[in-house]
Amino acid sequence: MADVFVSYGRSDEAMAERVADALRVDGYEVWRDDQLPAHRTYADVIEERLKAAKAVVVLWSAEAAKSQWVRAEADAARSWGTLVQATTDSTIPPLPFNQIQCADLTAWDGRDDAPGWRKLRNSVAVLAGPAPSEGKIKPRRKQLCVCVLPFNNISGDAEQEYFSDGITEDITTDLSKISALGVVARNTAFTLKGQSVDVAEVARKLGVSHVLEGSVRKAGGRVRITAQLIEGDTGEHLWAERYDRDLEDIFAIQDEISKAIVSALKLKLLPEEKKALEQRGTTNAEAYNLYLLARQYWLTGNHGDPRREERVMRICSRAVEIDPYYAQAWALLAIAQSNLHYNFDREVDDGFAAAHSALSIDPTIGEAYCAMVRRLAEQGRLEEAEAEVEKALRVAPDSWDVHKEAGRTARLRPQGLAKARTHYQRAVELMDSDYHAWAMLVMCCQALGDGEMVRHGATKMVSEAERALQQDPSNGAALGIIAGGYAILGERERAREWIDRAMLIDPDNINMRYNFACVLAGYGGDKDEALHLLDGVLAFSGLTQLKIAETDPDLDPLRDDPRFQKILKDAKRRLGIKDEPAPQAAGPQITSATS
């Protein structure tokens, strides 16, 4: 087992990697959560590694101080006497950890003689023993790390945002394939989107050596991309270039940017890394453009409105028509078909065939497993569904889609809420703007009695959903999540205001209607309207939504009402299900049953 365990918030990943690398250079065995095995549960591995560590280094930041995981790990280490603390952004550790000395790594640039680093290193030596490499010649520490800032869309058309975001994500993915280069996670970088940033401040805050920024202008069949690599310490441009080409050259441009960065940083690629950089999901620029467009609709679309799924299906169908070997487009088509079939009871393919097409082309596309998982879960074959989840996590451990599907599958087990919470926690780490994942995380935390995380999650439900409304004021799912968030926070009047507003704007959104039924039954005290809304959902929804309605504790105030019992019986009759006593609720919940 490792000598040192490193605990940190997701935005501090680059600094955590730097600390871990520095301690490894000293000869310590270091463990952090990038080494999680694919075949074991997150919580079990964390507990095992935490207990075995001689020293637990906790990196505090504004985000880490709010993280239930970091706080829990710090608390365990404090009780065992293995806690070593450092701050990465001058944040004072929260109670009760502020009573313990804390090293300051706020401006640490990797130097061995920095006071904050010496303090942390000496504390580790006291707990884990003298550095095994003390007095020996040390190998050069990997210090190159880059943050790819979201490229600016300067097309003069906000609708082209999907393209600039897609370019940014692809460049981030390409650079992540280089073992000698650290890359800040996509989610962390995208928190800076739309902001006027100071590159030196970004570099200091994220602990990176370089920052890549750029812009994209797409018009007709032409694309202009500018990119510049900037040194974090000096703010000087190490490399800059402008590409003005036909859209067909987009892949060549991405390759040239990646290779230019490698050359500017004087990195040497391994043969397999060079090959990986040259691999693309498609070589057709039109299919690629369509996939990016469909992906943006999927990420930002209105949950509960079938037009989102229909739009994604149309676009992806066109993409795979252009390039039948585009695995990512097949996988997204499968997810959209699955949702439309099961969430809206539509007579369309459930995505199984499209998922098989994706996996036959590229078996590492984890998202393709989601449609298979959903079919098996809907058929009540939970063990088989869970086996497919594990396959997906093995090939795509950092997939937002996979963790969302894994969370939904875990919820179907009475004892699965803790596991579901882990997956939803990872989903919001991967995409902080996903207000629906925040809502599902809150539901799990309510049931598990984590009041602190419930309040934090409810606040995020409101803030992220409000951000989504700035892009689309008619987004019914976002309106529903805001009302639910305010209800959880005890602001009943504000919740009611948002319900009234949402019902005027998007009255047919089933995701929103179910949320409101829960809010009005559990928090608003309006049984009549709750029953009316619920009837409108269960009159045509699929089996999964019915199962959750049967056990959802938010609906407990309705269970003795004959109208509620009739709604359930009618739904079962429509779905051809034998009417049996409903299972008992697992614990307090709120939010929708749909994805």
Tell me how far apart the alpha carbons of residues 465 and 483 are, in angstroms, rounded to a whole number: 10
Residues 165 and 213 in one domain: yes
Last residue of a domain, one of 251, 280, 309: 280
- pLDDT band, residue 413 (cuts 50/70/90): confident
- The token duo for 83 is 């806690």
Tell me how far apart the alpha carbons of residues 445 and 438 are, in angstroms, rounded to a whole number: 10
Whether 203 has a pLDDT exceeding 90, the answer reads no
Average pLDDT, the chain: 86
pLDDT in tens, 470-493: 888 888 889 889 998 998 898 988
Whether 139 has a pLDDT exceeding 70, the answer reads no
Last residue of a domain, one of 280, 304, 330: 280
Tell me how far apart the alpha carbons of residues 66 and 60 are, in angstroms, rounded to a whole number: 10
Average pLDDT score over residue span 391-402 = 91
Give the per-residue pLDDT at 34.
64
Percent of the chain with pLDDT over 90: 39
Between the ranges 51-55, 108-112, 551-555, where is the mean pLDDT highest? 51-55
Whether 383 has a pLDDT exceeding 80, the answer reads yes
Average pLDDT score over residue span 210-222 = 92
Higher pLDDT residue, 402 or 541? 402
Residues 115 and 153 in one domain: no
Domain that holds residue 565: 435-595
What is the rounded end-to-end Cα distance, in angstroms, of the chain?
A: 39
Give the per-residue pLDDT at 593.
40
Last residue of a domain, one of 280, 307, 328: 280
Residues 67 and 211 in one domain: no
Residues 459 and 587 in one domain: yes
- pLDDT band, residue 41 (cuts 50/70/90): low
Candidates 549, 554, 544, 564; CA nearest to 587 is: 554
> Is residue 460 within 8 Å of residue 488, measured between CB atoms?
no
Give the per-residue pLDDT at 167.
94
Percent of the chain with pLDDT over 70: 92
> Is residue 65 within 8 Å of residue 93, measured between CB atoms?
yes
Percent helix, strand, coil in the chain, to 5, is: 60, 10, 30
C-alpha neighbours within 13 Å on the C-beta side of residue 347: 0
- Tell me how far CA of residue 233 lies from CA of 141, 196, 203, 459, in angstroms: 17, 18, 8, 36
pLDDT in tens, 460-472: 999 999 988 988 8
Residues 108 and 194 in one domain: no
- The token duo for 337 is 């078909």
Whether 359 maps to a domain, the answer reads no
Whether 232 has a pLDDT exceeding 70, the answer reads yes
Report if pTM > 0.75.
no
- pLDDT band, residue 36 (cuts 50/70/90): low
For the chain, what's the residue count? 595
Cα angle 73, 180, 196; round to 5 = 70
Tell me how far apart the alpha carbons of residues 323 and 433 are, in angstroms, rounded to a whole number: 31
Cα dihedral 435, 437, 441, 443, rounded to 10, equals: 80
> Is residue 381 within 8 Å of residue 349, measured between CB atoms?
no
pLDDT in tens, 265-312: 988 888 888 887 878 899 999 999 999 999 999 988 888 789 999 999
As for how many domains the chain has, the answer is 3
Give the per-residue pLDDT at 316.
98
Q: What CATH number does residue 524 fall under?
A: 1.25.40
